[in-house]
Every structure is written in structure tokens, then in C-alpha cells.
Amino acid sequence: MIAGYSGPLIGVGALCLCLLNPARVWANTPGYAVTLEYASAPSCPGAAALEAVVVARLGYDPFSNDAPHHVFLSIVPNGASFDGRIEWRDAEGKWAGDRTFSMASGDCLRLTRTMGLALAVQIQLLAAQGAVIADDRERAPEAEPPPKPAAKPPESKPDAGSTPPRPKDDPRIVSAESRSPPAGSRLVFAIGAGPSIGIGMAPSPIPLGRVFGVLAGQHASLELGAEVSLPATARRADGAGISARLLLLSVAGCEAIERWNGCLVLKAGEVSLAGEDIDRPTSTRLPLVDAGVRVGFSQPLGAHAFVNAHAEGLAILTRWTASLDDVPVWTVPRFALALGIDLGVWFR
């Protein structure tokens, strides 16, 4: 549920605005511009998506880097939910009003659209107010000498303990729920583990298990991980075979767009080979280095947990052939594929 906002209320407010003076609202709106600053959580839409919502609502682009009015939007995670904030500042950088939002369902895309619509309606209100002021100035008659000021009545002091009267609401102020500055982007940490299956990394599809740690910013993240496998065996017609085990370390640089993430991955480690069902079994260790890309989809689970399904396409940089009794059994291919699913926990 959105705190401080309701879709039907915004629709009624915009309708009332048009009924009061539709021609002036829409004719003068394109002249109103603001400078936008936007900071969002890693899994939330970027500034382009937010601006698209506002432009679609207004019918023009109100954002300009040299506009005298400044607005700052921020979205930060709060457990399983997201908190949003719109803050207005004047040309001198002084606070002029703010409004807060909350999305308990964790749907950051919906929260971004809600905040974009609220911003568009506020821009319409401010543009309409500016048009009325300008119109009144044009119609004002020639200035007459000001009347003599009346005698100023004595000021009455409020009684002790009484609450001083609040000033009349300023239509330029969105709301005044909080005067504290918005929280900036910060780094968060996560750890996790999960199974996967590798195709092309061993003589047969090989099951792997991995653990990892992630350091994430607003949109980008760095991941370090380790993988170990169960044995996979390739056999000759006579039953003799060769068994392979993998031990790999990995590093990945990732970029997140809403719940999707893409990574550049580099893995390095070794393959342990051992002969099976032969007269004189031997073993050896050979290097394995591969690099490629990973595409994944992340789904939050509760306040801090998440699940991430991913697929990797890898190019193997070290190639060699494993032999048994001087007979080639398996040659490392040029490319490999890995499919997996991870379960992790965020530490915010």
C-alpha cells in the first residue's frame, strides 16, 4: 500500500485542475521546467524510466539542467519494501517541500510509476499557479498611490503553553512530512550458495555447487565465488574410464536493471583427472580457465533473502586432451554452458 498517495486521489486532483481552468493549465505547462536528481535502489528502474512516466503524463519534457526549480527523487530498500521521497528545492538550494512514499509489496517498478505521476501532477499545479500570477500582472491597472497605512494594532502575546498559529499552506510546497535530507546511495553486502550443472567443462555434464559474496551499489555489483564439483566420468568401450573433478574460483562484474542482471565472468582453477578400472590407474591435475557472460533474474524472498536463476555462456581459454593408456579419451571443447539457481541473503 502506498503511504501518502492514492491513485484515485491523483486522478481526481488532476481532473479538478482541468475543470477549474483547463486552457490555462495545458497552454502554460510547457513553460515550466525543473532540474531532476534521481537515486534509486539497484533493482529499481533508472532515471530514464521515471522521466518517461512524467513526459507521458505532461505531454512534454519538463527536465532541464539549468532550470531554477530543483527536485530530488530517491528510492531506498527497507527490508522487503521500498521507501521513496520527492524533495523540492528553490534556486538557492533551500528546502521547499517534500513527500514520502512506501511500497510494502516490494514492487519498485510500481513505486517508480506512482512517484512519476505524483511529480507530473505537482509540476502541472506549479505551472498553473505561475500562469495565473503572470496573467494577473498583465491585467493589473496602473499603479495608484498606496493608501496611508492604518495604525498598527498592538500585538497580543500568546498565552503560555498555547500553540502558535500555523502559516497558511503554500501551494508551492508538495508536503512537509520530513525535513531530513534523503538517504544517498550506499553499498550493501550479500552472501549465498546454490547448485548448478556444467556442460562442456568435463567429459559429461557435471554437477557443481558454489558459494559467493556480492558487494552491490546502486546498479553495479562485484561478485567473488568458488565452485567445486562432483566427479564426472567418460568411459571407453572396454569399461575403462577417466574421472574429472573441478575446483574453480570466479570473479564477476554485474549490472542490474530492475530484477534482471547481466555479468561478465572470469573463472580459473583446475581439473583433477584420475583413471578408473585400468591396471595401473594414474591421476593428474590440469588448468582450466574460462570467461564469458551470465544472465540472471532475481526474486526477493521476504525481508532480506532472494533467489536468483542464471545461465552462463563460457569460452574455454585452456584446451588440452586427456588420454588413457596413450589413447585420447576427452578433449576440452571451445565453449561451455552452465545453468544454476542461487539462494542468498542481503545485509543492509
Domains of the chain: 7-139 (no CATH), 188-347 (2.40.160.20)
pLDDT given at position 15: 39
Residue corresponding to grid cell 535502489: 41
Distance CA 32, CA 53 (A): 17
pLDDT of residue 288: 93
The H-or-E segment that residue 321 falls in is strand 321-324
Rounded to whole angstroms, the Cα distance separating 38 from 74 reads 6
Q: pLDDT value at position 259?
A: 87
Set of cell numbers at residue 33: 521546467
Classify strands 220-229 and 305-316 as parallel, antiparallel or unpaired: unpaired
Q: What is the pLDDT of residues 303-318, one digit of tens each?
A: 789 999 999 999 999 9
Report d(CA 290, CA 335) in Å as an integer. Answer: 9
Q: Are strands 34-39 and 69-78 parallel, antiparallel or unpaired?
A: parallel
| pLDDT given at position 278 | 76
Spatial separation of the C-alpha atoms in residues 54 and 34, rounded to whole Å: 12
Low-confidence residues of the chain: pLDDT under 50: 1-29, 162-184
Give pLDDT, residue 262: 95
- Residue 274, CA atoms < 13 Å, CB-side half-sphere: 7
Cα 21 to Cα 77, 87, 122: the distances in Å are: 40, 27, 16
Polymer length in residues for the chain:
348
Nearest to 320 by CA among 210, 244, 226, 230: 244
Name the pTM for this structure: 0.51
pLDDT of 127 reads 80
Grid coordinates in use for 11? 486522478
The phi and psi torsions of 303 (rounded to 5 degrees) equal -75, -40
Strand-pairing partners, residue 37, are 72
Residue-wise pLDDT tens digits, 129-179: 766 555 555 565 555 555 665 555 555 555 555 444 444 444 444 443 333
Residues 225 and 196: their CA atoms lie apart, in Å, by: 13
**DSSP class of 11:** H
